[in-house]
Chain A
Amino acid sequence: MNEPVTDAIKMVDLRVDYGDFAAVDSLSLSVPFGEVFGLVGPNGAGKTSSFKVLATLMEPTFGEVFLCGIDIALQPERARQVLGYMPDLAPVPTDLKCWEFLDLYAAAHGLPEIERHLRIGECLEKVDLEDKREAICSSLSRGMKQRLVLAKTLLHRPKVMLLDEPASGMDPVSRAALRNTLRSLADEGTTVMVSSHILSELADMCSSVGFMAGGKLVDAGKIDDVLARQGSMRRQIKVQMLDESSVPACRQALSDAGIGVVDAVGALLKFSMEGEGGEQVRLLKRLVDQGLPVRSFEEKRTSIEDVLLDLDQKHHEQQGGKN
């Protein structure tokens, strides 16, 4: 008996080589239905190669990939029926009208003619391009083209969507619309895997995230869990003094508390420290007890960007160590 499929995306021990260079190495990952998953990593981390393998555009050296339980190596055509892929640079044909471009792909995905007309209208509405139905694709702005390709990706109601830098070229309004579209898709049960360099947006968009570095998956999970895991060791603290004259005394107090590296900009001091809430309370009490005029004391929440920068640094250190 077949087991029920619980994961929309499942990669098992995936490897992609370019000559002697392993772009993706031992990547195993499962993403359930209805998740908006962000794949994050510095340049050369293996994100694009992983996306291309998932999109059936590239054959991995080895490893298995299942989309909604379909083995993409064995049934690529079936896998493509459940898949929507939007590349980072979304080119459109120069000789077709917007509705003709969408009709081509709606037909290619087997939508019946009567349904096609309605579906094209729906998708154009979703990306706010209803008024461009009869326009020639090449006359659209870059952001509009990106939205048109998003509409194309939505046509066949894919269960898995892969979006590589979907927001590039979009204005802030379009980006907000994209966020909403992706969220509503996830609510309908579609799994979205997205990569973006605009990390603040990823945090708003995604429910879970995976970090890649050097071709390997370093960590993955719900955003809060990952950030907690990756950011638990060192926390960024900002201390705002009443005036600049108290900064040297505060530096000294921090140094006495074992905090060596402190950045100061005007009356603002920034440093990182280990430990959780209790440690911070003790440090604040120490500063106040010494009569230092502390105006505010706050912990800056670890962001995806912090983790990414940290990973990148670790990766470079490891590479340096190997060499």
Chain B
Amino acid sequence: MGRDGDSVPSWNLAANPIFRRYARSRLRPKALIPWMLVVGILATFVFLAVWVGGTRNGIDTVVVGRTVLMVMVPIQAFLLMLIGTGAVASGIMLEGADGGIEYQRLTPLSPLTKIAGYLFGLPVREYCLFLVTLPFTVIGAVSGEVPIGLLLSLYVALITSAVLYHLSGCVAGMVVNRRFAGRIAQLMVIVLYLVLPQIAKLGFEFFSYLTILPVLSEVMGELVPQGRVIFDQVFGTGSRSVSLFGIEVEALPFSLLIQGTLIMTFVIILYRKWRQPTHHMLGKNFAAWLCIWIHVLLLGSTIPLIDSGDIFPTQLQGRFQRQARVRAQAELVREFGELNPEMRERLLRLDSRRSKQPMHAYWLSASYGVGALLLSCGLVLIITPSRDEFTKALRRKRKLDRSRVPLNADGASAFLHVVLIALAGAVAWSIFCSEMFGSRWFTEQFMGEEAPHFSMLALRLVPFSQLLFVLVFWAVLEWGERRTLLLFVLFGWVVPVLAAMIFMIAGERFHNLAIALGGISAFPSPFYAMSFPLEEQIPYLKQASGTFVAVVALYAVLVVWLIRHVKRRHEEIRHRVEDADAPPAASREIS
């Protein structure tokens, strides 16, 4: 027997009843054999196509073997990550609909054993199908003389990524309303697989390590260098070792660090939900630590890239250079009319300094601010108690004769933790700005020219404006519940941005109005905040800077007003709980 009533230890998968249950139902020959045939035929076809094609063209067996290995990986990734994640998400949903989750909640298995059972049991068929492809991998690895260490690193990354995606399916199935769980699971996979890694292309390499791609690129570089070039072009991957606070870390350990953080977070969510479905997904303390840890990882992996300018992806630079060129052309035409092509080229070359304007730095710094804001708001949404939870916590406190509700309790006000989370985001953003605008790269941009004038102190301080937006978000939630927050976000943050976009499209004479409208929303607020210290450098930011000052003043008043309302609401609930009369009911002992 395991600990405290746990009849099966979580590590013993073979004895795990939930794992065995799915091994029985999902590996019935009637369903398994057709799938194995399909995968077997596909893998054999791919193997033979590469092998026969390669040897017939006189390519070295080692290269052919390595190519076989590398083409098997996408098939295996497809089976484990896409089909496997779908199996996990739909399996958990079905288990919820069948009532199996409630039954399982009642068994004395520990939550970790249950998590392990579902995590490895639901995709057990996909693991078997993965095994069908393994002989080809072995042939490829042996004939390609692949070092065992390299092979291991590839498959460790593949399995860890698969576990991460399966966990995301489990979380979606457990946490989200049954009706939406399937959609949310698909959405999570799309976000984790496609959306977040795209952020890497904007300069935040951190996000590409959520997938197997960096490790795959590294392994490919070792095995099939020609293939890596194509791979990197297709997937936008590049240099693979990461400098974490100046320490060089290989792709695999860094990938494990990033994925491990997410895996741990998902396991904690599932653990809490297994113990009690009404618990918050994350505890308040863990949420605050998670926020700090993510910022540490982000800063640690991006700051070392700033000085060298490696943080700026070529796509982004190219985009800004093209934009600068178009703007310069338009100005030339406005000032001098149509010029002959030769003259225009000469003038444009002279004007090339425009591409050195601090736009890259501005854009990336503001993007960091947006990311920090979204992370803070997401965590605030998780840890803020509803009115019911707050009331329950007070009743419990009163009953147990405690002086206060424990700060980390789900039902306690989230104010202190929200401040901590918002502060963590603001401090991290401030550090990022400071590193960016104080970097060697930034000064080098203006070599031989007059250095730009801006207040570094202001640059370091404006990120703290985020505190106001996060606090307003929290206060609306704690005061008015989720429905009020939804309306507030919709009409206060989303509609102004959409309206601003329409006015922007409508014509130049509406641009000022568009900038003023967009400034009301918190989402683009980091761009407005950054414009405050930089308005002298980027003249068209002047209007944004003015809007920022006005909006900060407005939000400061709003925060004070809302916090007073939150306090009043808390007092009302406290009085109601304390004044509640509870006449003793019948108490019976049957004998």
Contact = CB atoms under 8 A, between A and B. Distances in A.
B388 A55 contact: no
A162 to B, nearest CB: 10
B584 to A, nearest CB: 6
Interface string A157-172: 0000000000000000
A19 B391 contact: yes
A17 B587 contact: no
Contacts of B6: 77
| Residue among A20, A56, A61 having the largest count of chain B Cβ atoms under 10 Å | A61
A75 interface: yes
B588 A30 contact: yes
B258 to A, nearest CB: 33
A174 interface: no
A66 interface: no
A312 interface: no
Interface string B1-42: 100111110000001011011001110000000000000000
Contacts, number: 146
A140 interface: no
B25 A107 contact: no
Given A17-B391, A59-B276, A110-B7, A220 B399 contact: no
A93 B100 contact: yes
Interface in B68-111: 94-95, 97-100, 102-110
Interface string A86-117: 01011111111000100111011110000000
Interface of B: 1, 4-8, 15, 17-18, 20-21, 24-26, 94-95, 97-100, 102-110, 275-276, 278, 387-388, 391-392, 395-396, 399-400, 576, 582-591
B585 A105 contact: no
Contacts of B395: 15, 17, 61-62
A104 B21 contact: yes
Contacts of A83: 106
Given A75-B5, A77-B6, A30 B589 contact: yes
30 contacts: A13-B399, A17-B392, A19-B388, A19-B391, A20-B391, A25-B585, A27-B585, A30-B589, A56-B105, A57-B102, A59-B276, A61-B399, A75-B5, A77-B110, A80-B108, A91-B100, A92-B98, A94-B98, A96-B24, A96-B25, A100-B24, A104-B18, A104-B21, A107-B8, A107-B20, A108-B18, A108-B109, A109-B107, A221-B588, A221-B590
A26 B1 contact: no
Interface string A214-225: 001111111000
Does more than half of chain A's interface fall in helix, strand or loop, or is it mixed?
A: mixed
A28 B99 CA distance: 29
B535 to A, nearest CB: 49
Contacts of B108: 77-78, 80-81, 108-110
Interface residues of A, number: 60
Nearest to B278: A59
Contacts of B20: 104, 107
Given A90-B99, A110-B8, 17 more contacts: A19-B388, A26-B584, A28-B586, A30-B588, A56-B106, A57-B106, A62-B396, A77-B109, A80-B108, A91-B98, A96-B21, A104-B21, A108-B18, A217-B585, A217-B586, A217-B588, A221-B590
Given A77-B6, A87-B102, A219 B586 contact: yes
A152 B107 CA distance: 11
